[in-house]
A and B are shown apart, each in its own frame.
Chain A
Amino acid sequence: MTLLHIILLSWEFPPRVVGGLSLEIEKLAVELAKLGCELDIVTYHDSLTSTETRSEGFRVHRVTNAVQTHTNIVTWALALNTAFQRVAADIALQSTGEQKLVHASEWLCVPAAIQLKKTIGVPYVLSLDSIEAQRSSGSVGPLTGAISYLEKEGCLEASKVLVTRKSTAEILQKLYSVPKHKVTIIDINKERDVLNEYETALQPKVARTDLKSE
């Protein structure tokens, strides 16, 4: 088995628990470390900003948002992603030898993942629990448009898109024209399956496939 260096971006990680994602990501991290992955979590916290080395064998880097006041979630996420990007870039640039991969969780981490891919050439997989069209239930407001744009860009630039439900996979293909072969329906609790997806994502044949080519 290849030794992977995973940089996992998530907007929530314990002790910050907003929804179900936080604990799910923590469980995945613990299991991936057991499987021998080198793992860095980059996440958000306003006061616990530092690096924590967990006894399970991975590190958690918590960053704050340089811009504290925001008028909506999109500007908040975009500004925060620059901090994610800074820390992830430092990790990737100092990492030696192993194959590096970013795992971005939800559209909230897409901006950083795209920039890391484009400047330092680290590919990424994107996991989506739900997509904007499902959450906004038909709203066509400008904020929904901006989020959908980032989500779509995130899917098209990703080496792999991991979703939990068949319905989500179908919407991705229909709404964002994401090529079918790029999308995998997966139970994120099954760490071996996730690892398998990471390894697939790192194979050179998986490159950006945009709208026109399929």
Chain B
Amino acid sequence: MKVALFSWEFPPKIVGGIARHIYGISRGLAKAGVGTLVFTCEFPGAPREEKVDGVRVFRVDSYRAPTPDLGTWAFLMNQSMEETAAEILSSETTRVDLLHAHEWLVAKAAIGLKHTLRVPLVATIHATEYGRRNGLHDDNERMIHQTEHWLTYEAWRVICCSHYMANHLAWLFSLPQGKIEAIPNGVDVTEFVGTFNRDSFRKQYALPEEKIVLFVGRLVYEKGASLLVEAIPRVLARINAKFVFVGEGYMKEELISRARQLGVAQKAYFTGYADEKTLRQLYRVADVCAFPSLYEPFGIVALEAMAARAPIVVSDTGGLSEIVEHDKTGVKIYHDNVESLAWGIIRVLTDPSYSNYLRTNAAKAVLDMFSWNQIAVRTKKVYEHVLEEYEKGTWKPPAVT
């Protein structure tokens, strides 16, 4: 089986979470015996064509003409991406059985190739424009939304990261449930091993006698950082702790001033953005990670914490709900409830054996369910189903003459 993945970003071009996803899943697919090609955008210094861990990567010239905005750039980039892919995929030695597009940013190229090559298309929707913007407010957002719709319409199967997202897609794009597959994101546990000086690293964030409560996420309403600030006095009444907030967002000032009002400013540390290395080490020194999101399509931070063996307290919502098993791999708390959040944090911090039990189970769950190899195997199953259905039909490429 051979597949061509399409993504606007792939390392070393990393803009958001998609690059890491494509990196993880493409390696996993190659390992699972799927011949994997990746078509992506060029990046200064990166070769136009290379082999990365068994995956053939093709980088496309994506700035051939000036464009006024991201939407126009994306559509024009798709024209170049499709031209490059067309030449490679119509050659006998590099033809593929399936196309797999990630996000609206590569919709046009993948849909075009589907119809000229006559091979089935699978699409992964990581997030929707409607979800990102909390509605559609201008023509640019509507254009992106409709392009997403077009991609899901043309796809044989649509993959998303959680059942929560599956319901959202079914509603937003009127998709039949049978067309949608929920396959979680993966995490690479090997990124969370290796030695470092824990004590000197930890000292930058908390006193030795303070427990570390870690929050990672944008400081925006839906991530629930304000709930965690409200919970600080309640937790401190029981146990000494430092609350570390990693991330930026429009609520930062408000959160800092609220901590001051509550008289706990010295217990709340807002670090701003952290680089990947620092973040991974923070997870590893945290005594508990708290993710009290009000809205969460997936919740990759929970997976990262689990992989780093930090116990987690999460709100019972969206994708988080599906990642965590209560009282086994983490603590689930009531949605939008400060009391419940404080209770969860105290429960983990005051009971070391419970905390160890959670972290051990979570680390195992990560390996069993959220490793890229597992995710790739599940994705391969989707490919197999699609090909099985495709074989039965009459829609095929013309016979090679």
Question: Given the complex, which residues of B lie within 8 Å of A115, measured CB to CB?
Answer: 79, 82-83, 86, 112, 116
Question: Given the complex, which residues of B lie within 8 Å of A86, measured CB to CB?
Answer: 111-112, 115
How many angstroms between the C-alpha atoms of A159 and B150 in the bound complex?
Answer: 32
Interface string of B56-95 (1 = CB under 8 A from A): 0000000011111101100110110011001101100000
Would A78 and B79 count as touching, CB distance under 8 A? yes
Would A71 and B143 count as touching, CB distance under 8 A? yes
Would A120 and B147 count as touching, CB distance under 8 A? no
Interface size class of B (residues with CB under 8 A): 35 or more
How many angstroms between the C-alpha atoms of A89 and B115 in the bound complex?
Answer: 7
B273 in contact (CB, < 8 A): no
B328 in contact (CB, < 8 A): no
Interface string of A11-50 (1 = CB under 8 A from B): 0000000000000000000000000000000000000000
Partner of B90, one of A74, A79, A118: A118
Overall SS of chain B's interface: helix
What is the minimal beta-carbon distance from A158 to any residue of chain B, in angstroms? 14
Would B112 and A118 count as touching, CB distance under 8 A? no
A211 in contact (CB, < 8 A): no
Partner of B72, one of A69, A75, A111, A148: A75
| CB-nearest residue of chain B to A67 | B146
Would B115 and A90 count as touching, CB distance under 8 A? yes
Would B87 and A118 count as touching, CB distance under 8 A? yes
B140 in contact (CB, < 8 A): yes
Chain A, 69-122, CB within 8 A of any chain B CB? 69-72, 74-75, 78-79, 82, 85-86, 89-90, 93, 111, 114-116, 118-121
Question: Given the complex, which residues of B lie within 8 Å of A142, measured CB to CB?
Answer: 66-68, 72
Partner of B71, one of A71, A82, A111, A149: A71
Partner of A69, one of B76, B79, B116, B139: B139
Question: Given the complex, which residues of A lie within 8 Å of B72, measured CB to CB?
Answer: 71-72, 74-75, 142-143, 146
Partner of B75, one of A79, A114, A119: A79
How many angstroms between the C-alpha atoms of A111 and B87 in the bound complex?
Answer: 15
B43 in contact (CB, < 8 A): no
Question: Given the complex, which residues of A lie within 8 Å of B140, measured CB to CB?
Answer: 71
A204 in contact (CB, < 8 A): no
A138 in contact (CB, < 8 A): no
Interface string of A168-196 (1 = CB under 8 A from B): 00000000000000000000000000000
Would B118 and A67 count as touching, CB distance under 8 A? no
Would A119 and B147 count as touching, CB distance under 8 A? no
Question: Given the complex, which residues of A lie within 8 Å of B150, measured CB to CB?
Answer: 66-67, 79
How many angstroms between the C-alpha atoms of A149 and B398 in the bound complex?
Answer: 32
Would B65 and A149 count as touching, CB distance under 8 A? yes
Interface string of B130-166 (1 = CB under 8 A from A): 0000000001101100110010010000000000000
Known contacts A69-B146, A71-B71, A149-B64; decide if A120 and B139 are in contact (CB<8 Å).
no
B365 in contact (CB, < 8 A): no
Q: What are some 19 contacts across the A-B interface (CB < 8 A)?
A: A67-B147, A70-B143, A71-B69, A71-B71, A72-B72, A78-B75, A79-B75, A79-B147, A82-B112, A93-B397, A115-B82, A115-B86, A119-B89, A142-B68, A143-B67, A143-B68, A146-B65, A146-B68, A149-B64
Interface set of B (CB-CB < 8 Å, partner A): 64-69, 71-72, 75-76, 78-79, 82-83, 86-87, 89-90, 108, 111-113, 115-118, 139-140, 142-143, 146-147, 150, 153, 397-398
* The 7 residue pairs across chains A and B that have the minimum distance between CB atoms: A149-B65, A119-B116, A145-B66, A118-B86, A69-B142, A86-B115, A66-B150
